[in-house]
Structure 1
Amino acid sequence: MLIDADLREIRASDRSAARLEKFLGDPDRETAVSAFAHSVAQDDRDEMPWRAMDALRSWEFPAFLVPEAFGGRLRSFAELFAMCRSVARRDLRLAVSFGTTLLGANPVWLWGTDQQRQWLASRLLAGDLGSFAMSEREHGSDLAGCQVSARREGDRYVLDGEKWPVGNATRGTFCTVYARTGPRQFSLLLVDKRRLPAQRHHNSPGVPTVGLRGHDLSGITFTDCPVPADSLLGSPGAGIPQTMKTLQITRTLIAALSLGSLDTGLRLAYAHARSRRLYGAPITALPAIRDILVRAYLDLIIGECVSVPAVRAITESPERLSLWSAIVKYFVPVTVERALADLNTVLSARGYLRDSLPARTFQKLHRDQAIASIFEGTTHVNLSSIAADLLFAANRSGGDPTLLPALFDRQVELTPWVPDARRLSLSNGGQDEIGGAWPQLSDRFSSWPSVRRLDAARRDLTVRLAEMDRRAPGSALGHTSARVHCVLHAAACVLLTGAHNSGDVFADESWMMAALDRLTQHLDPTWQLSPGPAAAVEAMVTAQVETPELFSLTPIPLPAGE
């Protein structure tokens, strides 16, 4: 474990992640708790990394899924985000298993009775897994199309129907079930699977998947299955808003899985490029290779700039999460998928051959990462959600600009999380402090060509939004507008991150200039990275590999050779 002196320079929300990194060890070494050698071998056999799962339980990682008020250690989602990122850079299956459990638990923290909360806390602290049984075979995650029913009969509900596919459906000891409880009425119920009559429910076989091999993605079928009436979470008929609000929280955390994957992918591609020689020199001498590595690093820190304020908003401004969480859920996984595809070209034939551990590790994380843009709302679902919020554009307000330091200053101590569903909203009501900051930011950085280009895109978007008012958010125009808005949102996040932090990397604007160039490439692929800032970012990559540190603007030390 890191000694206290080692932690003094690490921001408070990252100290647990730093300790976890030390505990898990260098994944390149076979003796590490979560070693790549074991991970890819288990992947080949469609097995979960149970040894690593048990180790995380022994480290009491599940305590970070339980709020402090109920005996756990979940105080800050920024802290949990950092830890999930560290777990995901080793094996995404570990992070997904615990993340799925948190998804099932959050409705209980938000709407459960004291008795329900205390019971669930005891199960999670014991290391149990759980699930959110929402999806159905014929209806996917269409909430209004749900056919699983829960009819009230005296002092119980009786469940009928199948939920599929559901993470942890078989291995989990509890599930939060989304069910129809009346005509056009849906509710959430907390189900203790151990108390269900054996003959009244069964689990469907696991579904073979491209990635996350060995992860429990299966189903559960109820047949006249009774559960106590006090299984109900909150009010009857509140299931749709409860589900949508629950997803606002966990969607932000999915970005940690993507950033962890890209950290490892970039590290593997960088090591290959340094060792691979062509024409008498390492392939890092080739400008095209260096450009891919730099762009991947920029994609990672841009994703961090977008994610961190949204994660901090869970406690500081949950009223804004309807928009910001959807942006994070769409933008970060999709950006990481593209970056990994580009990094695969650096590996070239080694990215196809399975004759080395680094290649097999990259192939695995590339397959595993694909799930991030699918679950908890697909790309199209999130784009439609973003477009729907943008319909408030005509009445958009900057909101409360005094909120920005709490979101972007990484030294500001966060408010401890006290679950309060009343602060979550189905719409941001047209208020967006991050988007509202853009006019001042564009004036401040108007000398940068990329800012002028992005400012022009913002003006064009305003015209599009006026047309979109007459169209459905799910239209092609709606999705195109949402994509552009995500890029502009990311640009504002980059500049606000730089503006609200000081010292170290923040003292040099090169990374911001390069990041804005990279975001401009999202809108105009012919745009080039400015040579000076790109060279400065390349030096950042090299320094963080050699130290070694997590690829981040506020990095934590990584274990090496231990």
Structure 2
Amino acid sequence: MIDKTVDDLESRFGDPWDPGNPTGHAAVLAADEAGEMLAAGERLLDDYRLNAEFVPPELGGRLTRLDHLIEVMRTVFRHDPCLGLGYGAASLIPAVNVWTAGDERQRRRMAEVLLSGGRAVSGYHELAHGNDVARAEFSALPGDDGRLRLNGRKEVIANAGRAEAMVLFARTSAAPGSRSHSQLFVEKADLPEGAPVHLPRFRSAGMRGVQLGGLEFRDCPIPADAALGAPGLGMETALRSFQITRTALPAMTVGILETGLDVAARFTDERVLYGRSLAGMPHIGAILADAFTDLLICDCLATVTARSVHLLPGETSLYASAAKYFVTTLLMDAMDALSRVLGAQFYIRDGGYGIFQKHLRDLAPAGFGHTARVACLSTVLPQLPRLARKGWLDDTQPPADVFRLGADLPPLSFERLSISSGGRDSLSASLPAALDSCEPDGELRRLLLVIAAEQADVRRECAALAPGDLTVAARPEALRLAARYAAVLAAVACVNIWLHNRERHDAFLSDPRWAVAALGRIAERMGRDPGQRPRHVTERLSAEVLSRHRDRRGFGLSNRRPPGQRLR
């Protein structure tokens, strides 16, 4: 089913390299230069009814599986990240909060807004406080008439001037403590004339076409029942809904790296240096192989995390934050590395390779947009000591379907998401099981032992963390422990994706060489010596990059081919 859906969307976008394509690279660059959303792209997504992907099926939409949503949105991000964020993710983020905590009326109204082609926005941030939303000064306190009164500003909001519905994070009590904030569902049609005041647009280096603005409210009345869930539960709602968005958004932006690889492969195919094809140079091949490996690592961790939302919802608070940190870090580093392949061409804003610099700029907000990487580590860190003393000693295995690509999943259950894993981490328990339950080739087994040693060290050091290291004032060394845990989790995802999908009719996925490369790259990030990577591994991966580019296949785990194209 998802193959047909993504094929349909790909067909609508057409060949990105065709200069006459209204949604191709040339048109995307022109819109970027003008600082505008790609109008032809928005019309395409209107016709496709992309917003239906964000709405649960019981409300008339197509949001049945998180991994399917990611596949669809990755296609959009691959063609134009501004459409991915400005048309897609900007509405997904507020919608998830409504699905998580809204009552029947609020859920129905959000669905009606989106399914009619409308837009929704979320207002978490205030420039004075950044990602520290608990210090938000924006308020919604009761007025004399019983209604809430909005006062304050929300800034750097995508589509602030074009949205019909808003989810606003606001102080709803003057009392100190964590129960003083709520999330509010507000429709612009219900506001008095002249409200809100639209602040001037923010210009940005990346995502230039996304309309970033701000909203200011001055004693603006809204209904007393606007809160999502019980008043004072705004932070809990955010922490639960973030598990969906922290999982999905970085996974969607893997499409940006796919385009980066495609451009770099095209460049190496077309360029000759010192009488030799760039594609045949070992150094260039190694850069392509490493970036491709990083993309596969991101896809493995993102896919396992997305499937865990369905199968292990009580543990997802741990996995989603770790994945957001690790995936965005790898994506940005891989794109930076690919820029060295293009040389001076990587910063030229037009011409045949101009799309690369746009995607490179557009990727940067993935690391700090919505919630910053360090905020994600701060979510993981307080859970680690309990895991070290209890959870990581439990050998309960996760369901195998967490790792089986395309396997059936139960319905997406927002109410089962928890703000803490409760000391459970079944994914980590599968690493020793991977060593015991199969006979991986010698190189893969050696790297698994390297990862297992890192896991043991992380467990020992986490058990010794002091209480002061679990707060926002944590030492950098403590935060690095959370980052090291995320790296171990990525390795767990990679080896298990290989183990559980070897029987699929995909020669590349069943080949252990990509898993060897992945574990080696992760070991390097851990500061561990992975040993010398066998030359045949690098050659296999670089050859796969060029093959997929020439066949116009995707670079992810799905190895997707364009509509109508058969396997070679």
TM-score by length of 2: 0.92
String of CA shifts for 1:402-427, please: whole Å, max 9, x gaps. 6432211113111222x432x11111
Unaligned runs of 5+ in 2: none
Q: For 1:222, what is the secondary structure of its paired residue?
A: strand
User: What is residue 25 of structure 1 aligned with on the other side?
Assistant: 14
- Which shifted more, 349-358 or 119-128? 349-358
Aligned partners of 1:175 and 1:316: how far apart in 2?
Answer: 30
Distance 1:400 1:312 in 2: 20
Aligned partner of 1:490 in structure 2 is: 490
* Alignment equivalent of 1:161, drawn from 122, 129, 152: 152
Which of residues 87, 90, 102 in structure 2 aligns to 1:100? 90
| 1:180-219 superposed matches below 5 A | 180-182=171-173, 183-184=175-176, 185-219=180-214
Residue 173 (structure 1) aligns with? 164
- In structure 2, relative to structure 1, the CA distance for the partners of 1:534 and 1:410 (3 Å cut) is same
Question: SS of the counterpart of 1:226?
Answer: strand
Query: Shift of residue 391 of structure 1?
Result: 2.1
Tell me which residue corresponds to 2:551.
547
| 1:4 matched residue in structure 2 | none
Give the match's secondary structure for 2:400: helix
Partner of 2:245 in structure 1?
250
- Per the alignment, residue 6 of structure 1 pairs with none
Q: Give secondary structure in 2 for the equivalent of 1:141.
A: coil
Shift of 1:399: 6.5
On the 8 A contact 1:190/1:231 being kept in 2, the answer is yes
**Contact in 2 for aligned 1:14/1:82 (Cα 8 Å):** no
**Which residue matches 1:436?**
429
The question of 1:454 aligning with 2:457 is answered no
Question: 1:398, 1:437 within 8 Å by CA — same for their partners in 2?
Answer: no
1:128 maps to which of 118, 124, 134: 118
Uncovered stretches (5+) of structure 1, i.e. residues with no partner: 1-11
Q: Is residue 291 of structure 2 the alignment partner of residue 296 of structure 1?
A: yes
CA-CA distance at 1:215 after TM superposition: 0.6
| 1:379 corresponding residue in structure 2 | 373
Backbone CA RMSD of aligned residues: 2.0
Q: What residue in structure 2 maps to residue 7 of structure 1?
A: none
SS at match of 1:229: coil
Q: What is the distance in 2 between the residues matched to 1:415 and 1:526?
A: 40
Q: Which amino acid aligns with 1:111?
A: A
Question: Offset of 1:33 from its aligned partner?
Answer: 5.0
| Bigger Cα displacement from structure 2, 532-541 vs 517-526 | 517-526
Scaled by the length of structure 1, what TM-score is found? 0.93
- Counting only pairs closer than 5 Å after superposition, residues 213-362 of structure 1 correspond to structure 2 as 213-358=208-353, 360-362=354-356
Over 3 Å counting, the alpha-carbon distance change for 1:281 and 1:446 in structure 2 is closer
SS, match of residue 357 in structure 1:
coil
2:539 maps to a residue whose letter is A
Work out which of the residue numbers 18, 24, 31 in structure 2 matches 1:35. 24
Q: Which moved more, 1:400-409 or 1:364-373?
A: 400-409
In 2, the alpha carbon distance for the partners of 1:543 and 1:450 equals 27
Distance change in 2, residues 1:314/1:459 (3 Å): closer
Displacement of 1:130 in angstroms is: 1.1
Q: Secondary structure at the match of 2:343?
A: helix
Q: Look up the equivalent residue of 1:180 and give its one-letter code.
A: R
* Post-superposition offset of 1:446: 8.5
The question of 1:532 aligning with 2:536 is answered: yes
CA contact (8 A) 1:517 1:530 kept: no
Aligned length: 547
Contact 1:249 / 1:314 at 8 angstroms: preserved in 2? yes
CA contact 1:398–1:432 (8 Å) conserved in 2: no
Whole-angstrom CA distance in 1 between matches of 2:80 and 2:8: 18
Q: CA deviation at 1:551?
A: 0.6
Q: CA deviation at 1:31?
A: 4.0
Q: For residue 199 of structure 1, report the CA deviation from its aligned partner.
A: 3.3
Paired with 2:479 and 2:126, the residues of 1 have a C-alpha distance of 25
Task: Supply the AA of the counterpart residue of 1:70.
Answer: L
**Shift in CA distance, 525/296, structure 1 to aligned 2, threshold 3 Å:** farther
1:56 maps onto 2:52 in alignment: no
Report the counterpart of residue 67 of structure 2 in structure 1.
78
Q: Distance in 2 between matches of 1:493 and 1:514?
A: 14
8 Å CA contact 1:26, 1:558 repeated in 2: no
